[in-house]
Chain A
Amino acid sequence: MIPEIGHFLLWLAMGVALVIGTVPLWGATTGRADCMALARPGSYLLAALVTAASACLMASFLGNDFSVLYVASNSNTALPTQYRMAGFWGGHEGSLLLWVQMLVIWMVAVGLFSRHLPREVLSRILAVMGLVSVGFLLFMLLTSNPFDRLFPAPPDGRDLNPLLQDPGMVFHPPMLYMGYVGFCVAFAFAIAALIGGNLDATWARWTRPWTTVAWMFLTVGISLGSSWAYYELGWGGWWFWDPVENASLMPWLLGTALIHSLAVTEKRGSFKNWTVLLAILAFSFSLLGTFLVRSGVLSSVHAFATDPRRGLFILAFLTIVIGSSFTLYAWRAPTVGLGARFALISKETSLLANNVLLMVAAGAVLLGTLYPLLLDALGMGKISVGPPYFDSVFVPLMAPAIFLMGVGPLARWKEAAVPDLARRLRWALGVTVVAAIGTGWLAGSIHLVATCGLLMAYWIFASVATDLWERVNPEGKGVAELRRRMGQIPRALAGMMLAHIGVAVFCFGVTMVKTYEVESDVKMAVGDSTTVRGYQFTFQGVKNVPGPNYEATRAQIVITKGGDKVTELTPEKRIYRVQQNPMTEAAIDAGLTKDLYVSLGEEVDGGAWIIRVYVKPFIDWIWGGCMLMALGGLFAVSDRRYRRKKGEPS
């Protein structure tokens, strides 16, 4: 009964979404207040319906209702409760429902926090979001209904893919989707402004916090996914340039560009067209990413053939959304105006350059991701584009962007002078060079590529420090004055500095891991030991440990350094009972300056095991950097000026 209710609720939601998508839009055009008044309560109703439908699916999972096909394919009675809940988004159908669920949460948030917006604008925004949810609900109902029944019901489910039975599965997808879908808000603001023709600094100020929050979720989501891959896949990598990862990186790059371009539009009124275009693009890439991942095109182009309706629907939906928004853009954008003027050397230019670089980088990633699909579809042979392609394209494109990250914040709006910038940044540059070479020397060897990476990291650190110093202490007046001035720094600015420091921390981590990590695969019998980077790893044998829904072979490895015991690690090899898949569970001793990472290979000639041992310096800085970026975003949105009430001067 519950699945039928859920299914019915989705149809109701679809009807409500259709009303929100049309009536308020029409009301805003004709100026009819009664039509516009539908938008907000309508959104709340839509949210209630979708949430109730989600609750139905969740109830089916928790109640082990295997007469529901989706539950039967993604759950099992032996599955621990938290993973039964996470099974909700373990497959295609549920992910779509999660997508819509996130969308309606964003709609409610817009309804609650944007009361001060003019009624026409708010109506249009909610209408656009309503139309997007119509598309997704229709897709779900016509081609991928999560509530489809299975007759006869099997006695037990096929279980959640063992790879997904991890705490990462509980948090990573909702975070990521919250970010993906969040760009829909910026998109809706942009479309509303294009329709209404009121694209100005106020529009940019409304859009900024929404974009930043979505970007924050996306940052956290991607970094959770990356750290999950690091400990779960058992080979210690943190980014594989896998098409699925690229699908999330592209919207992130465009979202980052959008944040920066919105800053210019708000402060100086420039780049309006460009900002609107980015808002449309960021969301288009989110859509593209969702569909690439969820339609199965990525593992093979031929996955389209397994259910041609899905593929066709996806193509049609993408074409409609992207096509109509670009048409609207082409039609309305020229009326928007160019905005304030600026000199060739200015903060505007540096932000524009940063935008171009981020966009070109996203384009390069897109090309590398889609090229194999394209060749395959055209029957021109099978190829794959691996990490070397992305490394050799992405890194050189990001290097100048990072240089600009140091210069941009110090450059003045409108017009800046190169000699002035060079004078103010000379200390930063000196410190950067010395620190980069010094770090290489301390680490034991100086590499060209590593030095470049370190230069980038220290350059950001040093330039942010310079920026901060100029703001708090131009004359040097004692500690109390310093603290007072520190307190005066607006949150938005502090957020930017923090996020930039996050990038520096990230760069530092990546460089150190790439250059100085040590990896070794060794065959070990009980009692054998191997020494990596001064750490002695001793294998003390394996024992069998039963888990809730798997049997584990747990190895015990003692790590000592110079005779002192450092820690003891217990990597596992698990066989999940239902799907009989082996899974490697790495054991990691995480630390600020290095991770010790051990994973279990296979058993060879009686009692001996192949064991993989890593020492990974500063790897946690990669995710630490991402968290700092997200925290910077949080600081920025908590800035006072976004909390202006209606009626106050803008």
Chain B
Amino acid sequence: MKTRHKRLAIAAGVVVVIGVAATLILNAFNSNLVFFFSPSQIASKEAPVNRTFRLGGMVVTGSVKRTGVAVDFQVTDTAQTVPVHFEGILPDLFKEGKGVVAQGKLQDGVFVAKEVLAKHDENYMPPEAAEALKNAAKSNQKTAASVVTSK
């Protein structure tokens, strides 16, 4: 085999590997990217049905109810509240009144969580949860402002 052919063959092999990898990556991205939604977005029907996404916010104080292995609680961004259902062991740092991020699907208005994410520090607010709270606070202000101006 000539050197030129050999080089072509090797180059072709590399291209094939990268092509296959790109296909795999695109496929995986398509089905495995997990988007993030806040309770407000869920209330305004922006969140997808039957697709896994992440929900972030604050656990409503006094909302956590255990029934055997299952646990129900509510997550809020101060503007809206979403009920969450989860079966299993909650992370150590899960607390009422603290930030939380849960991953799962929306079913009949209830967010059925497959996973509740643990963070490593008591004072640490998951960035997604912090952002949800901040956005809700902003829109609250806006509403208030518009009420004032419309008067």
Task: Return the CB mask of B11-36 against A: 1 if under 8 Å, else 0.
Answer: 00110011011001101110111111
B66 touches A604 (CB 8 A): yes
For B28, the chain A residues whose CB sits under 8 A away are 388-389, 392-393
B70-109 CB contacts (< 8 Å) to partner A: 87-90, 92-93, 103
CB distance from A134 to the nearest CB of B (A): 33
For A384, the chain B residues whose CB sits under 8 A away are 33-34, 36, 54
| Docked pose: A344 CA to B34 CA in angstroms | 42
A583 CB contact (under 8 Å) in B10, B90, B92, B128: B92
For A440, the chain B residues whose CB sits under 8 A away are none
Given A381-B35, A388-B32, A392-B27; A364-B9 close (CB under 8 Å): no
B3 touches A360 (CB 8 A): no
B69 touches A389 (CB 8 A): no
B21 touches A582 (CB 8 A): no
Given A299-B127, A357-B17, A581-B93; A383-B36 close (CB under 8 Å): yes
A312-360 CB contacts (< 8 Å) to partner B: 341, 343-344, 349, 352-353, 356-357, 360
Report which residue of B3, B69, B131 has the largest number of chain A beta carbons within 10 angstroms of its beta carbon.
B69
B122 touches A580 (CB 8 A): yes
For B89, the chain A residues whose CB sits under 8 A away are 234-235, 521, 599, 601-602, 610, 612
A343 CB contact (under 8 Å) in B6, B21, B68: B6
- In the complex, what residue of chain B is closest to A360 when comparing beta carbons? B21
Interface presence of B120 (CB below 8 A): yes
Task: Return the CB mask of A570-605 against B: 1 if under 8 Å, else 0.
Answer: 000000000111111000000000000001011011
A161 touches B25 (CB 8 A): no
- In the complex, what residue of chain B is closest to A519 when comparing beta carbons? B88
A392 touches B92 (CB 8 A): no
Interface presence of A424 (CB below 8 A): no
A-B contacts, CB under 8 A, total? 111
CB distance from B86 to the nearest CB of A (A): 11
| Docked pose: A141 CA to B90 CA in angstroms | 41
A523 touches B69 (CB 8 A): yes
B127 touches A302 (CB 8 A): yes
A161 touches B120 (CB 8 A): yes
For A397, the chain B residues whose CB sits under 8 A away are 20-21, 24
Task: Return the CB mask of A376-413 against B: 1 if under 8 Å, else 0.
Answer: 00000111111011001100110000000000000000
B17 touches A360 (CB 8 A): yes
| Docked pose: A601 CA to B87 CA in angstroms | 12
Task: Return the CB mask of A360-377 against B: 1 if under 8 Å, else 0.
Answer: 110110011001000000
Category for how many chain B residues contact A: 35 or more
CB distance from A363 to the nearest CB of B (A): 7
For B27, the chain A residues whose CB sits under 8 A away are 392
| Docked pose: A384 CA to B122 CA in angstroms | 22
For B10, the chain A residues whose CB sits under 8 A away are 344, 349, 352
Given A341-B3, A343-B1, A384-B34; A364-B21 close (CB under 8 Å): yes
Interface presence of A300 (CB below 8 A): yes
Given A383-B33, A384-B36; A393-B21 close (CB under 8 Å): yes
Interface presence of A163 (CB below 8 A): yes
| Docked pose: A300 CA to B127 CA in angstroms | 6
Interface presence of A522 (CB below 8 A): yes
For B1, the chain A residues whose CB sits under 8 A away are 343-344
A588-628 CB contacts (< 8 Å) to partner B: 599, 601-602, 604-605, 610, 612
A397-438 CB contacts (< 8 Å) to partner B: 397
- In the complex, what residue of chain B is closest to A163 when comparing beta carbons? B120
B6 touches A601 (CB 8 A): no
For A610, the chain B residues whose CB sits under 8 A away are 69, 89
| Docked pose: A440 CA to B39 CA in angstroms | 45
| Docked pose: A360 CA to B17 CA in angstroms | 8
For A361, the chain B residues whose CB sits under 8 A away are 21
| Docked pose: A396 CA to B20 CA in angstroms | 9
Task: Return the CB mask of A161-181 against B: 1 if under 8 Å, else 0.
Answer: 101000000000000000000
Given A302-B127, A381-B36; A523-B68 close (CB under 8 Å): yes
A344 touches B87 (CB 8 A): no
A521 CB contact (under 8 Å) in B32, B88, B122: B88
For A381, the chain B residues whose CB sits under 8 A away are 35-36
For A383, the chain B residues whose CB sits under 8 A away are 33-36
CB distance from B12 to the nearest CB of A (A): 11
- In the complex, what residue of chain B is closest to A523 when comparing beta carbons? B68
B35 touches A382 (CB 8 A): yes
- In the complex, what residue of chain A is closest to B92 when comparing beta carbons? A582
A344 touches B31 (CB 8 A): no
B33 CB contact (under 8 Å) in A233, A385, A581, A582: A385
- In the complex, what residue of chain A is closest to B89 when comparing beta carbons? A601
List 12 A-B pairs, Cβ < 8 Å.
A161-B121, A356-B13, A356-B14, A364-B25, A371-B29, A381-B36, A382-B131, A384-B54, A397-B24, A523-B69, A582-B93, A612-B88
Q: Known A-B contacts: A383-B35, A388-B32. Give 12 more (CB < 8 A).
A: A234-B89, A356-B13, A383-B33, A386-B32, A389-B32, A396-B20, A521-B87, A521-B89, A581-B92, A581-B93, A582-B93, A604-B68
List residues of chain A with CB under 8 Å of any chain B CB.
Answer: 161, 163, 233-235, 299-300, 302, 341, 343-344, 349, 352-353, 356-357, 360-361, 363-364, 367-368, 371, 381-386, 388-389, 392-393, 396-397, 521-523, 579-584, 599, 601-602, 604-605, 610, 612
Q: Which 6 A-B pairs have the closest CB atoms?
A: A601-B89, A300-B127, A382-B36, A389-B32, A388-B32, A389-B28
